[in-house]
Structure 1
Amino acid sequence: MPTFKNLLTSFGLTLAFVFITNAQAQSVAFTFDDGPSVASTPLLSAQARNQAMLDALAKHQVKAALFITAANGAIQPAGYAFAKAWGDAGHAIGNHTMTHPDLHSDKLSLTQYQQEILDCDRIISTLPGYQKWFRFTYLREGNTPEKRDGMRGFLKQHGYRNAYVSLDTSDWRLDEKLTEVLTKNPHADLSPIKRAYLSHIRQRAIAYRALSQQLQGRDIPQIILLHHNLINALWLDDVIAQFKDMGWNIVTPASAFADPVYQLTPDRPAPGQSLLLSMARSLGVAKFDGWTRLVDDGDAEIEALKVQGL
């Protein structure tokens, strides 16, 4: 049988090196995008949301990474203080642009996107915990060869790591539903949304673990994408506890990124999304059972909540 390395080569994937081990416990590293948000939400103030997430991480002794979209708050004194609190607590700080533009937009040039990164860097490089890690907005890495290759060259030139995600979630979609429900009724019963959220995280975790085993022949350290939002301010404690109950080890993002899988560069016309999904598409892996649930943006959970009247 062809080795995974040969498969990668035959499908044009750049590979620094491959390391496969048979026996290792499944692990996950927590990362959060779009923070720190200073926007108003029901139930909790911006400061309370930020602190609730930090408290949940501290309770479980988890060190995470916050990928900052500076215009969401860090350009303001209060938001900068929220971000600094993450660095002071020992969490890593990464770059997620100034204003979260879409690299795939025809109205956005490669130069403009790169300037967004440099502008954000000028703010976050002064924070404790700062790392030269960049996460693409919307996990979109360029819809043309010029943008794709231009960004790969830019990141290399400036010493940035592509802060890949392997375990993608649609927490943002369920957060939108949570906010919608609370806006209509501040005293609404939130237990159905909480159950749907935890079920969603479990489903994605199991599916991406299975995909890593299919593609790599092993459990890779998963890097989960969540967001700096209300749903995690309320239930991040439960999310972390659920992973522990599932028997998963929680590791730091730096430890996860050290795995060779995060040095892969899928060769696709429009790379992006979960690294595992991008690898599967690069390798021509046929759609498998559960594929739709990995790319449906939480549609199944939202429809189930509608049936319950939410």
Structure 2
Amino acid sequence: MKLSAYLSSATASVFFIACISLAADASAQTVAITIDDGPNLEQTPRLSPEQRNLAMLKALSRHGVTAALFVTANYAATQPAGYALAKAWGDAGHAVGNHSMSHPDLHSDKVSLAQYQKEILDCDAIISTLPGYQKWYRYTYLREGNTPEKRDGMRSFLKQHNYRNAYVSLDTSDWRLNEKLVEVLGKNPQADVSVIKRAYLAHIRQRAEAYRALSWQLQGRDIPQVLLMHHNLINALWLDDVLAQFKDMGWKFTTPAAAFSDPVYQLVPDRLASGQSLLLSMGRILGLGKFPGGERLVDDGDFEIEELKRQGL
């Protein structure tokens, strides 16, 4: 359903409702966990690829969470060892989706629409043999095309191949803090990184609260949020803490499939834009200007990195 069609069936006041009811029913807020760019065979401090993969799966199991892994096949799944890591997700009951072969940027002039689509089909040939396989595609960098030809060509392609656009509503910059974590541990594997852990958890909380508030402004309700994280060291170490924090916040976990069944994920924002969450894209279409916490949603973790620098990292 086009966003314009959705808007025609509802008054503007529904979308820009004040957030006065935000805390009224904390139990109403749900979140689905999705992990991009996995698995990978990159060597990192402290944990091997197998240990990282197992740590994330154990954290999800400990909290009773059914998640989704979006596979970038060239990172590992084309190799027996990496394929086994991806298979472990399906074996554990998690969904497995498509995140291309090599993570190209659809907005790049060097990447044609045909090349991008081939990346998806080639990845599909690999992951379709995995347990948990779903016809879900997660756009790389969340970029859906910076020209009408690329945007509309991809939408037709996904429809033709029965693929769901695996939207993200709750975007994070975990990758940026992961870079800092790897940098610090690369210099000293025994370094005290508790300050990075605190910054990471605060980052996830801030993003969650800001996107929840945005859902009330745009939808007048709590939507099931779809969280974007990555298959990396920071989540291998602290995914358990992230999940525990959501519980402490009063949020409950849902499955990606259940979240995607919500009507909000049927919308198709009619906008050429850089990578962003579905909610942020909708807000910009509707002319939503600045809002509390909004500037932090697009800073790629700059705020947290600057704070860490002030603390000597």
Distance 2:274 2:208 in 1: 21
2:133 corresponds to which of 130, 135, 157: 130
Distance 1:89 1:74 in 2: 17
DSSP 3-state at the match of 2:97: strand
Aligned to 1:27: 30
Q: Which amino acid aligns with 2:166?
A: A
Q: Which amino acid aligns with 2:232?
A: N
Q: After superposing the two structures, state which structure 1 stretch, 279-288 or 203-212, moved more.
A: 279-288
- Answering whether residue 104 of structure 2 is matched by residue 101 of structure 1, we say yes
1:233 corresponds to which of 233, 236, 241: 236
Q: Which amino acid aligns with 1:128?
A: P
DSSP 3-state at the match of 1:98: coil
Distance 1:193 1:103 in 2: 32
Shift of 1:32: 0.2
- Answering whether residue 91 of structure 2 is matched by residue 92 of structure 1, we say no
- Answering whether residue 296 of structure 2 is matched by residue 296 of structure 1, we say no
Question: Which runs of no fewer than 5 residues in structure 2 stay unpaired?
Answer: 10-23
2:85 corresponds to which of 82, 85, 90: 82
Shift of 1:269: 2.3
Q: After superposing the two structures, state which structure 1 stretch, 23-32 or 150-159, moved more.
A: 23-32
CA deviations on 1:103-131 (whole Å, 9 max, x unpaired) are: 00001100000000000000000000000
CA deviations on 1:14-36 (whole Å, 9 max, x unpaired) are: xxxxxxxx967100000000000
Aligned to 1:191: 194
* Matched ranges for 1:54-69 at <5 A: 54-69=57-72
Q: Which amino acid aligns with 2:171?
A: D
> Structure 1 145/9 Cα, relative in aligned 2: closer, same or farther at 3 Å?
farther
Aligned to 1:287: 290
DSSP 3-state at the match of 2:28: coil
Distance 1:273 1:168 in 2: 7
DSSP 3-state at the match of 1:168: coil
Aligned to 2:173: 170
Q: Which amino acid aligns with 2:7?
A: L
Question: Matched residue pairs, number?
Answer: 298
Shift of 1:270: 2.9
CA deviations on 1:143-183 (whole Å, 9 max, x unpaired) are: 00000000000000000000000000000000000000001
* Matched ranges for 1:243-254 at <5 A: 243-254=246-257
Distance 1:270 1:191 in 2: 36
Distance 1:187 1:47 in 2: 20
Shift of 1:90: 0.2
Distance 1:227 1:37 in 2: 11
CA deviations on 1:32-71 (whole Å, 9 max, x unpaired) are: 0000011100110000000000000011110000000000
1:269 corresponds to which of 269, 272, 295: 272
Shift of 1:8: 2.3
- Answering whether residue 144 of structure 2 is matched by residue 141 of structure 1, we say yes
* Matched ranges for 1:181-220 at <5 A: 181-220=184-223
Q: Which amino acid aligns with 1:95?
A: N
Q: Which amino acid aligns with 1:201?
A: I
Shift of 1:271: 6.3
Aligned to 2:18: none
Distance 1:272 1:306 in 2: 27
Q: Which amino acid aligns with 1:218?
A: R
- Answering whether residue 50 of structure 2 is matched by residue 47 of structure 1, we say yes
Aligned to 2:312: 309
TM-score (norm 2): 0.92
Q: Which amino acid aligns with 2:57?
A: L
Q: CA RMSD in A?
A: 1.8
Moved over 3 A (4+): 4-7
Contact 2:210 2:292 in 1 (8 A): no
- Answering whether residue 78 of structure 2 is matched by residue 70 of structure 1, we say no
Shift of 1:6: 7.3
Distance 1:9 1:115 in 2: 36
Distance 1:6 1:140 in 2: 23
DSSP 3-state at the match of 2:287: coil
CA deviations on 1:261-305 (whole Å, 9 max, x unpaired) are: 000000112364100000001111112122110000111100000
Distance 1:140 1:9 in 2: 26
